[in-house]
């Protein structure tokens, strides 16, 4: 059968026609059940210079597929961008007016439709359909371009990804209403007056002139350590209240935090001169707090009164060098958090685990 005969059989999509950079493009709503069948991904064996996409990262697929299956009534997928290596036919609904760009797009079934952006969405849809075929009745927007060769497709991929900016961890935490840890972090900020004034809600780093001390993402990580929760673990209301109570008690043992909350001392001065005004200390407090709650479930609050006995000054290099500081610079490394937490544990009267004891011995060597 000839190509001309094959092209008589077409996929048809209701579509909107437009122009970008002088080239026609079409946006259509495509049923998800068709996505795995009509969209092609460059095989991994093809050398990079002959591909128009990155290699599929299969490790990303389970999480994407689970997102679709677990949130079948409340998911969001952005458009796929694809190129068609054949002529298409667009039949407008009208010859004039607005409807001249509304119509039916016909794509030959034997045409190769190459994804320029969205290959992981395509693969995740394919996996999700295996678990729940009902997803096949939903639609995803697809932006179609006419393929002008490999060079143009590679440029499209570069252009589509060049200006993509991943949102900060703090902003993702603020806006993620499905993630239990994110909900907990936002709840704590709302319930702990000190954090309400001193937490950066959007950025994951703090500028030198900021009036904030901590980031929302850092508070999330620290609170998860406090409750010994993994990223996707369920967090009960009782646990969120316990975390809020803990952090309120910690704040009372941190006079400098309270002074910054009242604007009696610049936050920038605290960040410059003290260890306790950085994420490494917040995380360490969460780690030490987990042991405190475990060892003293009835009277843990009274132990937090000892926090003000710690000399948090960065000038105290004898205490902090090798722990929170490395060559005078703050470190967020896991071992730095653990060694900083040991200082807090000892001060609060919390027993060190064998692992923590081993860390202390290695520090002394």
CA 316 to chain CA centroid, Å, is 36
Question: Does residue 182 carry a pLDDT above 70?
Answer: yes
Q: Are 271 and 352 in a shared domain?
A: yes
Q: Are 155 and 42 in a shared domain?
A: yes
Q: Mean pLDDT over residues 207-214, rounded?
A: 93
Q: For residue 51, what pLDDT is reported?
A: 59
Q: For residue 147, what pLDDT is reported?
A: 81
Q: Are 182 and 78 in a shared domain?
A: no
Q: For residue 5, what pLDDT is reported?
A: 44
Distance of alpha carbon 320 from alpha carbon 326, whole angstroms = 8
Domain range for 126: 3-162
pTM: 0.78
Q: Are 304 and 198 in a shared domain?
A: yes
Q: For residue 125, what pLDDT is reported?
A: 96
Q: Are 131 and 237 in a shared domain?
A: no
DSSP per-residue letters across 173-232: HHH-SS-HHHHHHHHHHHH-HHHHHHEESS-SS--TT-S--EEHHHHHHHHHHHHT--TT
The pLDDT mean for the chain works out to 90
Q: Are 72 and 123 in a shared domain?
A: yes
Closest CA to 76 of 177, 227, 186, 185: 177
Q: For residue 41, what pLDDT is reported?
A: 59
Question: Does residue 49 carry a pLDDT above 60?
Answer: no
Question: Does residue 46 carry a pLDDT above 80?
Answer: no
Question: Does residue 267 carry a pLDDT above 50?
Answer: yes
Burial bucket for residue 337 (CB in 10 Å: 0-12, 13-18, 19+)? buried
Q: Are 230 and 248 in a shared domain?
A: yes
Phi, psi dihedrals of residue 122, rounded to the nearest 5°: -60, -50
Distance of alpha carbon 74 from alpha carbon 67, whole angstroms = 10
Q: Are 275 and 322 in a shared domain?
A: yes
Residues contacting residue 174 through CB under 8 Å, at least 6 positions apart: 182, 186, 201, 202, 216
Domain boundary among 117, 140, 162: 162
Distance of alpha carbon 365 from alpha carbon 358, whole angstroms = 11
Total of domains in the chain: 2
CA 221 to chain CA centroid, Å, is 13
Domain boundary among 162, 181, 213: 162
Q: Is 139 helix (H, G, I), strand (E, B) or coil?
A: strand
Helix runs in the chain, H state only: 3-6, 35-38, 61-70, 119-131, 150-162, 169-175, 180-191, 193-198, 216-227, 237-252, 255-261, 267-273, 279-295, 300-303, 317-320, 334-348, 354-364
Q: For residue 160, what pLDDT is reported?
A: 76
Q: Are 211 and 360 in a shared domain?
A: yes
Q: Are 226 and 115 in a shared domain?
A: no
Q: For residue 194, what pLDDT is reported?
A: 96
Q: For residue 6, what pLDDT is reported?
A: 42
In this structure, are residues 204 and 170 in contact, taking their beta carbons and an 8 Å threshold? Answer: yes
Q: For residue 48, what pLDDT is reported?
A: 59
Residues contacting residue 301 through CB under 8 Å, at least 6 positions apart: 245, 249
pLDDT tens by residue, 214-225: 999 999 999 999
Domain boundary among 117, 133, 162: 162
Higher pLDDT among residues 4 and 110, named by residue: 110
Phi, psi dihedrals of residue 260, rounded to the nearest 5°: -65, -35
Q: For residue 252, what pLDDT is reported?
A: 95
Q: Which residues of 43-70 are buried (b: 16+ CB within 10 A; e: fewer)?
A: eeeeeeeebbbeebeeeebeebbebbbe
The model's confidence at residue 45, banded by pLDDT at 50, 70 and 90, is very low
Q: Mean pLDDT over residues 84-89, rounded?
A: 88
Calculate the dihedral angle through the C-alpha atoms of 173, 176, 182, 185, rounding to the nearest 10 degrees: 70
Q: Are 151 and 233 in a shared domain?
A: no
Q: Are 28 and 65 in a shared domain?
A: yes
Residue located via tokens 């048809």: 12
pLDDT tens by residue, 111-155: 888 888 888 999 999 999 999 999 999 999 999 998 877 677 778
């Amino acid at each position: 059968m000839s190509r001309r005969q094959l092209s008589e059989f077409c996929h048809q999509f209701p579509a909107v026609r437009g122009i970008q950079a002088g080239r026609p493009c079409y946006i259509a709503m495509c049923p998800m059940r068709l996505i795995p069948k009509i969209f092609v991904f460059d095989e991994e064996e093809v050398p990079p210079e002959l591909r128009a996409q990155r290699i599929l990262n299969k490790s990303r697929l389970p999480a994407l597929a689970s997102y679709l299956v677990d949130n079948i009534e409340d998911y969001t997928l952005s458009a796929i961008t694809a190129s068609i290596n054949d002529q298409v036919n667009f039949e407008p609904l009208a010859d004039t007016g607005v409807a001249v760009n509304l119509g039916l797009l016909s794509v030959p079934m034997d045409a190769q439709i190459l994804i320029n952006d969205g290959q992981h969405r395509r693969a995740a849809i394919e996996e999700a359909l295996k678990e729940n075929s009902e997803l096949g009745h939903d639609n995803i927007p697809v932006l179609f371009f006419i393929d002008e060769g490999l060079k143009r497709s590679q440029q499209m991929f570069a252009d589509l990804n060049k200006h993509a900016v991943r949102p900060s961890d703090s902003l993702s935490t603020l806006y993620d209403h499905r993630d239990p840890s994110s909900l907990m972090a936002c709840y704590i900020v709302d319930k702990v007056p000190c954090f309400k004034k001193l937490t950066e809600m959007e950025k994951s780093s703090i500028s030198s002139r900021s009036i904030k001390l901590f980031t929302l993402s850092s508070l999330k990580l620290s609170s998860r350590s406090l409750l010994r929760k993994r990223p996707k673990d369920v967090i009960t209301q009782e646990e969120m209240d316990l975390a809020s109570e803990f952090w309120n008690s910690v704040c009372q043992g941190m006079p400098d935090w309270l002074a910054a909350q009242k604007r009696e001392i610049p936050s920038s001065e605290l960040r410059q001169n003290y260890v306790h005004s950085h994420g490494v200390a917040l995380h360490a407090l969460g780690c030490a707090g987990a042991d405190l709650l475990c060892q003293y479930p009835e009277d843990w609050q009274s132990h937090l009164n000892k926090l003000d006995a710690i000399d948090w000054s960065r000038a105290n290099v004898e205490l902090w060098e090798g722990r929170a500081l490395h060559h005078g610079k703050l470190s967020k490394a896991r071992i730095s958090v653990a060694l900083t937490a040991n200082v807090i544990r000892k001060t609060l009267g919390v027993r060190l685990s064998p692992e923590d004891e081993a860390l202390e011995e290695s520090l002394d060597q």
